[in-house]
Amino acid sequence: MADTGRANVNTLEPFWMPFTNNRQFKSAPRMVVSAKDMHYTTDDGRKLLDGSAGMWCVNAGHGRAKIVEAVQRQVAEMDYAPPFQWGHPAAFGLSARLATLLPGDLDHVFYGNSGSEAVDTALKIALAYQRQRGQATRTRLIGRERGYHGVGLGGTAVGGISNNRKQFGNLLAGVDHLPHTHNLSEMAFSRGQPKWGAHLAEDLERLVALHDASTIAAVIIEPVAGSTGVLVPPEGYLERIREICDRHGILLIFDEVITGFGRVGETFAAERFGIVPDMITMAKGLTNATVPMSAVAVRKEIYDAFMDSPAGVELFHGYTYSAHPLACAAGLATLDVYAEEGLFARATELAPKWEDAIHSLKGRSNVIDIRNFGLMGAVEMESRDGAPGARAMDVFMRCYETGLMVRQIADTIAMSPPLIISEAQIGEIIDILGAAIDATD
């Protein structure tokens, strides 16, 4: 009889963990075995306050009964439906709900299973759209330094975090990058959007002049760059990017895998900044991370361009698990929870308290910057000579030992708590993190 995984359940070696120091972890594992509301429980029975919403994704908190029950009902009724040439009601129902929440004329949704798939889908749609409208020379894609757009081939190519790229060679041809917006000498300890830096958007005009606008299909950026350590856009920067794209016929894609679904106080950061991009990628908070799911929202003009093609399949792209019934059930229930509990408005209400709390850490030993926007925040530590990342890793470990889950990104501690967090729990996060920083040389 085949081994179904019951044997050797205590063996850690076979699992090659993603984005993890496998040797270090397997020598001293950090195991979580259950989760509810604002806390994880470890395998030794300790409670961990979730300061990172898992990985930026459990926006409504853990173990929400309405979402769990919706998934249970769906799996009992229909576990799977093929998305090619077949449909099921929840896929259309979720798309209609999302269309009412999206800004401007973004009113059509294409589904994947992860943020990485959403990004690669958006890039492919951009290239296909340019061909569809007779602009086949537009094949160049522009990302940004320190940007994170998942780990697909396309997303890695347009991404700008060097460690995510250096093992994989040239990836895609015809990709360029804008400079990132982080400048400690001008921006350190800014509250919300920095005042300095809008001029950095002008580098897009340089790339247009270098490559010629007729070769550029799309620009993809995160409104707030999360996985690189919460880099907040300078005032006027995103508006200027939109203007330049409009002038030169370039599509603008907002990667809102992290910023979507209340993280910055609105459904999407596009609304918060008052900008309508041509596409939005989303995942994470779409289903409260209960079931993997992602989506790309496109403007009506983009969808209609494909519908003007000859009869037949309009876009030769998709996934076996696009609009999976369980994911759709989780998505619909998640949107209900957000609406019924007013969680996006709650995030807006808590944001100033979060800002004051996190900036209270200014002046602690080795803290060189603090950044925040919505319910996102980062505390950057000065790197030790010859050991980048080591100081923040020590802080991360002390937080774990004293009951707090955070994200460690190089020498930055990043946080994005569930939107159900209380003011007292914000204080608890800051107390634990502050003590961990004080205990770290």
Q: Residue 52 gets which letter from DSSP?
A: S
Rounded mean pLDDT, 110-136: 98
Phi, psi angles (nearest 5°) of residue 180: -75, 175
- Residue 170 is predicted with a pLDDT of 82
Assign residue 120 a region (left: φ > 0; alpha: ψ between -120 and 50; beta: otherwise). Answer: alpha
Q: Classify 6 as helix, strand or coil.
A: coil
Q: Are 420 and 38 in contact (CB under 8 A)?
A: yes
Span 275-290, mean pLDDT? 98
Band (pLDDT 50/70/90 cuts) for residue 1 is very low
**Which of 421, 286, 288, 287 is CA-nearest to residue 351?**
421
Q: How far is Cα 251 from Cα 245, in angstroms, rounded to an integer?
A: 6
CA distance 75 to 323: 14
When the pLDDT of each residue in the chain is averaged and rounded to a whole number, the result is 96
pLDDT for 7:
47
Architecture of domain 22-64+342-438: Alpha-Beta Complex (3.90)
Please determine whether the domains at 22-64+342-438 and 68-338 fall in the same fold group of CATH: no
Alpha helix ranges (H) inside 342-422: 343-359, 390-401
pLDDT score, position 136: 97
**CATH code of domain 68-338:** 3.40.640.10
Neighbouring CB atoms inside 10 A of 402's CB total 16
Domain residues of the chain, as ranges? 22-64+342-438, 68-338
Indicate whether 10 pLDDT > 80.
Answer: no
Mean pLDDT of 36-48: 97
Q: Are 213 and 246 in contact (CB under 8 A)?
A: no
pLDDT range class, residue 124, cuts 50, 70, 90: very high
Contact 185/152 with Cβ under 8 angstroms? no
pLDDT in tens, 150-208: 999 999 999 999 999 999 988 999 999 999 999 999 999 999 999 999 999 999 999 99
Cα dihedral across residues 160, 162, 163, 165: positive or negative: positive
107, 99 Cβ separation under 8 angstroms: yes
pLDDT at residue 3 in the model: 52
